[in-house]
Amino acid sequence: MSLRRILCIAAHPDDIEFTVAGSVAGWTSEGREITFCLATTGSAGTNEHTPSSEGLIPIRERESREAARILGVQDVIFLGHQDGVVEPTIALRRDLTRVIRRCRPDVVVCGDPTVRYYGNQYLNHPDHRAVASAALDAVFPSSETRAIFPELLTEGLEPHKVKEVWITGAIPPDAWIDIGDTLGRSARRSRRTSRRWARASGSTISWGWAVRDGKHAGVKHAEAFRRMVLWDGP
Ligand SMILES: [Zn+2]
């Protein structure tokens, strides 16, 4: 099977569920190996726990593992950066490069760092942009270049060349995955701490996205990507 290993990188614990859960469920049922990498703790995901959001972190982590399990994903990596104030620093890029060299994925899935807003109602979260930016920089040139982050070599992490990048939320997308079969397995329902928000907007929004993207793909429900083929090797 080509493109067997897929690494999904996101800023927040629930980002993957809202963007690529249907595709992930399809990939795991095809026998692909999926890893989730979540850059932040998710501690700023709700105002209900402020000013002390510490108690939220283990809840988020537990939910993320449960959501991953429902989608057939065993491997969830938490980088533990502070939610809400992420910047595309060299430290973050190094963390993501380390994850890429460890997982050695054929495909990296991440957000679009160039999108500042969607339509007239949604400002893209700065964490989404920061993590997506660092992720793309980690894919190229950091993960494949020996001289970048030599400290990773001392950890035994040799360079790795990612074959494809699938960018979610890209404007415009150019690839679509039909998620009609897998939509019912979406892990959104398991996320208790964002349930109120999901009830108010999330489920409607993500369902609307799937319908909108499905129209482009000529199917009922789809998830949209910009697909970049960096290397067509073995
Ligand atoms: Zn998010």
Distance 75 CA to ligand 1 centre (A): 20
More confident residue, 172 or 57: 172
Distance 118 CA to ligand 1 centre (A): 14
pLDDT-wise least confident of 28-32, 55-59, 203-207: 203-207
Distance 202 CA to ligand 1 centre (A): 11
**Residue 159, preceding peptide bond in cis (omega within 30° of 0):** no
Rounded to two decimals, the pTM is 0.88
More confident residue, 48 or 219: 219
Beta strands in the chain (DSSP E): 5-10, 33-40, 75-81, 107-110, 117-118, 122-123, 164-168, 175-178, 222-229
Distance 165 CA to ligand 1 centre (A): 19
The per-residue pLDDT for range 13-39, each reduced to its tens digit, is: 889 888 898 899 899 999 999 999 999
Residues in Cβ contact with 191 at an 8 Å cutoff, skipping those fewer than 6 apart: 13, 14, 17, 63, 67, 198
Distance 147 CA to ligand 1 centre (A): 32
**Residues 163-177: what's their mean pLDDT?**
96
Distance 180 CA to ligand 1 centre (A): 24
pLDDT-wise least confident of 108-122, 172-186, 192-206: 192-206
Alpha-carbon torsion angle 128, 205, 180, 38, nearest 10: 20
Give the rounded distance of the alpha carbon of 128 from its chain centre: 9
More confident residue, 186 or 54: 54
pLDDT(204) > 60: no
Residue 130 CA neighbour count, 13 Å, CB half: 20
pLDDT-wise least confident of 34-43, 102-111, 164-173, 209-218: 209-218
Among the listed residues 153, 112, 108, 154, the one whose alpha carbon sits nearest the alpha carbon of residue 131: 112
Band of pLDDT at residue 66, cut at 50, 70 and 90? confident
The per-residue pLDDT for range 89-136, each reduced to its tens digit, is: 999 999 999 999 999 999 999 999 999 999 999 999 999 999 999 999
Band of pLDDT at residue 47, cut at 50, 70 and 90? low
Distance 38 CA to ligand 1 centre (A): 10
Distance 216 CA to ligand 1 centre (A): 24
* CA–CA distance, 223 with 62 (Å, rounded to integer): 26
Distance 59 CA to ligand 1 centre (A): 16
Residues in Cβ contact with 232 at an 8 Å cutoff, skipping those fewer than 6 apart: 163
pLDDT(189) > 70: no
